[in-house]
């Protein structure tokens, strides 16, 4: 099994690149943002709790997202590998993920971090808000709060994986195809 973490701030293109990567490598896409939005759409208790936090641009509690990921790993026990998108977002989530993968005699193959400037992020997210129907993309204050939350809690996740020599930074500005080609080069260099 080969597992990839696609890392980067909100609006860095993780969702777009994930779609291409899972098609190419036959991985299972685990996006905690998508999983949470589907809980919200299904009006579950978890979804109702998560929505109020997400609409403020804050992070959902660790135990909630770790629980979701744990059941997804079990649900796809025969997967070739997983692409983690938007997870882990805190060091506690990263430690929990390592434990879950270790139980399966597995671990992260590569941690790919997309680098995008803050002004470009805000521009992209406001643009996405015009069509995505995502309430957290329409309000610039919420977008800025998500970036603040990212800087406060999530950037430390990259430092955590640096100790295992897993981190590769990839420029996240430019054409979608060029960014994808850079990601693919890094994956292919480590997969075999
Ligand atoms: P983006 O990366 O564009 O912010 P996501 O779809 O990944 O969008 O996440 C949307 C929201 O869902 C986040 O702002 C956060 O509230 C919540 N969320 C997603 N993943 C996590 C996670 N791993 N831990 C805590 N909260 C999360």
The pLDDT of residue 96 is 98
CA 186 to centroid of chain Cα atoms = 18
Please indicate whether residue 129, judged by its CB atom, sits closer than 6 Å to ligand 1: no
72 neighbors 35 (Cβ within 8 angstroms): yes
- Using one digit for the tens of pLDDT, what is the confidence trace for 40-94? 999 999 999 999 999 999 999 999 999 999 999 999 999 999 999 999 999 999 9
94 lines ligand 1 (CB under 6 A): no
Residue 92 tokens, joined: 């506690």
- Beta strands 167-171 and 28-31 are unpaired
Which helix (DSSP H) or strand (DSSP E) does residue 45 occupy? helix 45-54
Q: Is the distance from the beta carbon of residue 108 to the nearest atom of ligand 1 less than 6 Å?
A: no
Q: What is the pLDDT of residues 118-168, one digit of tens each?
A: 999 999 999 999 999 999 999 999 999 999 999 999 999 999 999 999 999
Nearest of 25, 107, 92 to residue 60 by alpha carbon: 92
The kind and range of the H/E element at 60 are none
> How do residues 8-29 score in pLDDT, each as one tens digit?
999 999 999 999 999 999 999 9
- Packed helices 155-162 and 91-103: angle between N→C axes, nearest 10 degrees: 50
Residue 57 CB partners (closer than 8 Å, separation 6+): 136, 141, 142, 143, 144, 145, 146, 148, 149
Q: Is the CB of 87 under 6 A from ligand 1?
A: yes
Q: Which of 6, 59, 64, 144 to mutate to test the pocket of ligand 1 (most atoms within 8 A of CB)?
A: 59
Distance of CA 41 to the CA centre of its chain: 20
CA 32 to centroid of ligand 1, rounded, Å = 6
Question: DSSP secondary structure string, 71-103?
Answer: HHHHHTTT-S-EEEES---SHHHHHHHHHHHHH
Domains of the chain (ranges plus CATH)?
A: 3-183 (3.40.50.300)
12 alpha carbon – ligand 1 mean position (Å): 13
* Sequence ranges of the binding site: 11-16, 32, 37, 58-60, 86-89, 93, 128, 134, 146, 174
Q: What are phi and psi of 113, to 5 degrees?
A: -110, 120
Residue nearest to atom 10 of ligand 1 (CA): 33
Ligand 1 centroid to Cα of residue 59, in Å, is 6
pLDDT at residue 120, as a whole number: 97
Tell me if 166 sits within 8 A of 108, measured CB to CB.
yes
């Amino acid at each position: 099994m080969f597992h990839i973490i696609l890392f980067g701030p909100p609006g860095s293109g993780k969702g777009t690149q994930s779609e291409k990567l899972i098609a190419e490598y036959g991985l299972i896409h685990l996006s905690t943002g998508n999983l949470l939005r589907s809980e919200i759409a299904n009006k579950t208790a978890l979804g109702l709790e998560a929505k109020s936090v997400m609409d403020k641009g804050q992070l959902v509690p660790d135990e909630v997202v770790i629980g979701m990921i744990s059941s997804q790993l079990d649900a796809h026990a025969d997967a070739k590998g997983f692409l983690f998108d938007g997870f882990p977002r805190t060091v506690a989530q990263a430690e929990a993920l390592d434990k879950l993968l270790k139980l399966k005699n597995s671990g992260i193959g590569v941690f790919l971090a997309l680098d995008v400037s803050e002004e470009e992020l805000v521009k992209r997210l406001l643009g996405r808000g015009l069509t995505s129907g995502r309430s957290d993309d329409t309000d610039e204050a919420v977008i800025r709060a998500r970036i603040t939350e990212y800087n406060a809690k999530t950037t430390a996740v990259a430092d955590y994986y640096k100790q295992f020599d897993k981190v590769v930074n990839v420029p996240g500005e430019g054409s979608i195809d060029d960014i994808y080609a850079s990601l693919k080069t890094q994956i292919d260099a480590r997969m075999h």
